[in-house]
């Protein structure tokens, strides 16, 4: 998945993946991670998701990583916040009270640059990457967050019927990426209303990944 693919999506406003409300599975299950108030939550490949606003409104601090500067400019505009912007290595750091977003390639983001993370909310990262990148991504995520607990949202469907993204992630693949590092709990598996992009039946799965 080339960077230009995502830059083009944002430039052309082809962002059907951008939800118009906070994800219901986030709202329903995030408290299961039992985080203290003011905990810092990492949202990889965050776009301008309304989930960040939900995290902030519920007393968490948010830190994100995103390839598209346009998406993050829109995120801060929609939050009504003026960010400070600084260059850190190969990434741009957009920051304001309780929020830090790193714009650039997530693989350029180090643990030192990211800072302490108390939990991960992955709704749009693992499912956005093709199979050949997902192992690298999951290993990098574990490294830069020191294995912080996760709420992970995935889709499962017949990949031959519909090209990703979002890509289909089987339960076995979640186990492959994370089973050695976490206690895995499939909190909920629900039908995607109308099918994935209206084209094929799919399940949306909410996983709780707690430290073993």
Cβ(102)–Cβ(23) below 8 Å: no
Tokens of 189: 């598996």
Give the separation between CA 141 and CA 44, rounded to whole angstroms. Answer: 9
CA 60, CA 83: separation in Å to the nearest integer? Answer: 18
- Per-residue model confidence (pLDDT) at position 161: 93
Task: Look at residue 6 in the predicted model and tell me its pLDDT.
Answer: 47
Whether residue 123 is annotated as binding a ligand: the answer is yes
Domain boundaries, the chain: 3-12+20-211
Identify the pLDDT of residue 21: 85
Q: Which residue blocks in 31-107 are alpha helix, DSSP H?
A: 50-57, 69-79
User: What residues contact 139, with CB distance under 8 A and at least 6 apart?
Assistant: none
* 28 CB-side CA count, 13 A: 12
pLDDT at residue 9, as a whole number: 54
Please report which helix (H) or strand (E) contains residue 143, including its range.
helix 131-145
pLDDT in tens, the chain (212 residues): 566 664 565 455 554 544 668 999 999 999 999 999 999 999 999 999 999 999 999 999 999 999 999 999 999 999 999 999 999 999 999 999 999 999 999 999 999 999 999 999 999 999 999 999 999 999 999 999 999 999 999 999 999 999 889 999 999 999 999 999 999 999 999 999 999 988 899 999 999 999 98
Fold classified for 3-12+20-211: Rossmann fold (3.40.50)
pTM, full prediction: 0.91
* Confidence (pLDDT) at 18: 47
Is the link from the previous residue into 166 a cis peptide, with omega within 30 of 0? yes
Is 97 marked within a binding site? no
Query: What are residue 99's phi and psi, to 5 degrees?
Result: -145, 135
Is 45 within any annotated ligand binding site? yes
Tokens of residue 41, six digits: 């939550």
* 66 marked as binding residue: yes
Length of the chain: 212
For residue 5, what pLDDT is reported?
60
């Amino acid at each position: 998945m080339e960077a230009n693919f995502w830059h083009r999506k944002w430039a052309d406003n082809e962002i059907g993946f951008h939800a118009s409300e906070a994800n219901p599975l986030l709202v329903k299950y995030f408290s299961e991670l039992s985080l203290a108030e003011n905990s810092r939550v990492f949202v990889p490949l965050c776009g301008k998701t309304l989930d960040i606003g939900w995290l902030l409104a519920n007393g968490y601090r948010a830190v994100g990583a995103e390839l598209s500067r346009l998406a993050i400019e829109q995120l801060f505009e929609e939050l009504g916040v003026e960010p400070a912007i600084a260059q850190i290595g190969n990434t741009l750091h957009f920051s304001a009270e309780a929020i830090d977003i790193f714009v650039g390639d997530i693989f350029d983001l180090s643990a030192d640059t990211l800072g302490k993370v108390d939990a991960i909310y992955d709704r749009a990262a693992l499912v956005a990457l093709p199979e050949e990148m997902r192992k690298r991504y999951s290993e990098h995520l574990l490294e830069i967050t020191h294995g912080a607990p996760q709420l992970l949202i995935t889709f499962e469907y017949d990949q031959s019927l519909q090209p990703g993204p979002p890509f289909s992630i089987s339960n076995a693949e979640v186990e492959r990426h994370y089973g050695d590092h976490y206690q895995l709990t499939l909190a909920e598996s629900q039908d995607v209303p109308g099918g994935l992009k209206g084209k094929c039946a799919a399940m949306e799965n909410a996983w709780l990944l707690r430290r073993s």
